[in-house]
Amino acid sequence: MKWPWQKSFELSPFIQALVEDNTEHASKQWQRLPSPFELVTDDQSAAELIFVEGALQCATLLLHHHAPNMDQGNQLAASALCAKRHRVELVTLLLKHKFDLELTPDGQPWPLACLTMAPATDHMLLLNRLPQYGVDLNVRTEAGDTLLDLAIKSARPELVRHLIDSGMTADAIGKWVDTEPLTSEQQSTLQLARRCLEDLRIRKLLLGR
């Protein structure tokens, strides 16, 4: 029951407050709801909108006062990866919470979700951030592909270098490279991966490791 003096949630002012990342105005709106995890559009809660709009200060305040359950956390993680701005910072904010490692945005472990949901410009930043919070990059898709496999398949040499520098080994390259036809770009990226792995092996030998 809402008393006559209690104001109702207003979506437009809430969105405007998120665009401005105005914690005072945004929190006034979500406090009018039974829960910030309640739907305010056909398919998004107030909390999800905070993350989608990339309102970092508002998201920080939200998580300080409201602990999401696992399903809500997964929704926030997916929203963070698709946010209009501050994607890396929003993911970091979630990683700092106790439920971080168990989250599966869009049903995927963090590393795969980062590659499939976030813009390519953020991939290396995100994959660099995940291990800092204990997230293992050695994950596989349902088809058995590793992150290194995906980088080769998408012909992304810089991502290949980053993954190998992050600790990916030759075992992370699947047998598909010997059985499936490769484009010239994929072949070039595969050759780069093998060179990087060989260079790493030689460096370790020289260092006696």
Q: What is the pLDDT of residues 151-197, one digit of tens each?
A: 999 999 999 999 999 999 989 999 999 999 999 999 999 999 999 99
Identify which of 35, 43, 40, 42 has the alpha carbon closest to the alpha carbon of residue 14: 40
C-alpha to C-alpha distance for 100 and 98, rounded to whole angstroms: 6
Using the predicted structure, report yes or no on whether residue 137 has a pLDDT greater than 60: yes
Span 57-61, average pLDDT: 98
| Listed range (6-10, 65-69, 77-81, 127-131) with the worst mean pLDDT | 6-10
Confidence of residue 4 (pLDDT cuts 50, 70, 90): very low
Confidence of residue 8 (pLDDT cuts 50, 70, 90): very high
187 and 98 in a single domain? The answer is: no
The pLDDT of residue 100 is 53
23 and 126 in a single domain? The answer is: yes
Q: With respect to residue 199, please indicate whether it lies within any of the assigned structural domains.
A: yes
C-alpha to C-alpha distance for 77 and 55, rounded to whole angstroms: 14
Cβ–Cβ under 8 Å, residues 112 and 139: yes
The pLDDT of residue 103 is 84
Using the predicted structure, report yes or no on whether residue 42 has a pLDDT greater than 60: yes
Using the predicted structure, report yes or no on whether residue 6 has a pLDDT greater than 90: no
Per the structure, the complete domain to which residue 200 belongs is given by 140-209
Q: How many domains does the chain have?
A: 2
Mean pLDDT of the chain: 93
C-alpha to C-alpha distance for 189 and 159, rounded to whole angstroms: 10
Asked which of 108, 136, 164 is the last residue of a domain, the reply is 136
* 131 Cβ contact list (under 8 Å, min separation 6): 137, 166
Q: With respect to residue 153, please indicate whether it lies within any of the assigned structural domains.
A: yes
**What's the whole-model pTM score?**
0.89
